[in-house]
Amino acid sequence: SQQGEEDPQALSIQEGENATMNCSYKTSINNLQWYRQNSGRGLVHLILIRSNEREKHSGRLRVTLDTSKKSSSLLITASRAADTASYFCATGGGADGLTFGKGTHLIIQP
Amino acid sequence: NAGVTQTPKFQVLKTGQSMTLQCAQDMNHEYMSWYRQDPGMGLRLIHYSVGAGITDQGEVPNGYNVSRSTTEDFPLRLLSAAPSQTSVYFCASSHAPGNEQFFGPGTRLTVL
């Protein structure tokens, strides 16, 4: 069953603009992770935010976590063509691993 | 380090055939898992292993077997392929289940 659900399902923006995607989940979590998947490739880990953290930065990425609303957001600033990919949030941490959402497909228009 | 490797990259099977998807990692990770990715469905966990000799079922285990005889290898066996198993299969590994997962490049499987 899906734990995380990303929103929107698809997003198209101009190069240089900021991209924001959201993730909602259902049960309490230890941490939440974001992954990127380029077309035809495996997933690549972007960032992990723990349940006691509210915000985390990594380069042009900013992730927020609101455990009271069971939601997270991923902001990519100053987007580039190379950011075109699908982005997934994932929750879990027990032995049965991570549960992924269906992803947001981001297209950066040149 | 090669990271997580998967073979083959592509495979076409006929209904009823069996095959093994190979997965290996050189990072000495205890935790390994197999996912399938279908359009509009995201990734779904098939089987996972918390260490050599220990495996367990995930969300969609039917039609698949796994074994973990070494830390490095975690093969996935399709016992009798069905068209519903047409999918892209990803192997992943990490030091622990909740940690950053390292994914292989995937195997694209078509069952006719």
Q: Tell me how far apart the alpha carbons of residues B75 and B72 are, in angstroms, rounded to a whole number.
A: 10
How distant is the Cα of B32 from the closest Cα of chain A, in angstroms?
9
Comparing C-alpha atoms, which of A92, A91, A52, A56 is closest to residue A74?
A56
Q: Parallel, antiparallel, or unpaired: how do β-strands A55-58 and B107-111 relate?
A: unpaired
pLDDT tens over chain A, length 110 residues? 446 788 899 999 999 999 999 999 998 888 999 999 999 899 999 999 999 999 999 999 999 999 999 999 999 999 999 999 999 999 986 777 788 989 999 999 99
Three-state secondary-structure class, residue B85: helix
Residue B21 β-bridge partners:
B76
**Other Cβ atoms closer than 10 A to B66:** 23
Comparing C-alpha atoms, which of A107, A101, A73 is closest to residue A89?
A101
Beta-carbon separation of B40 and A102 below 8 A? yes
For B66-110, what is each residue's pLDDT tens digit?
A: 999 999 999 999 999 999 999 999 999 999 888 899 999 999 999
Residues in chain B closer than 8 A to A95 (CB atoms): 48, 50, 56, 97
What the block records as the tokens of A37 is 């998947």
From the number of C-beta atoms within 10 Å of its C-beta (0-12, 13-18, 19+), residue B101 rates as buried
User: Within chain A, what is the greatest distance between any pair of CA atoms?
Assistant: 42
What the block records as the tokens of B58 is 């995930």
Q: Tell me how far apart the alpha carbons of residues B76 and B65 are, in angstroms, rounded to a whole number.
A: 6
What the block records as the tokens of B50 is 């918390």
Determine the residue of chain A that is closest to B58 in CA distance: A96
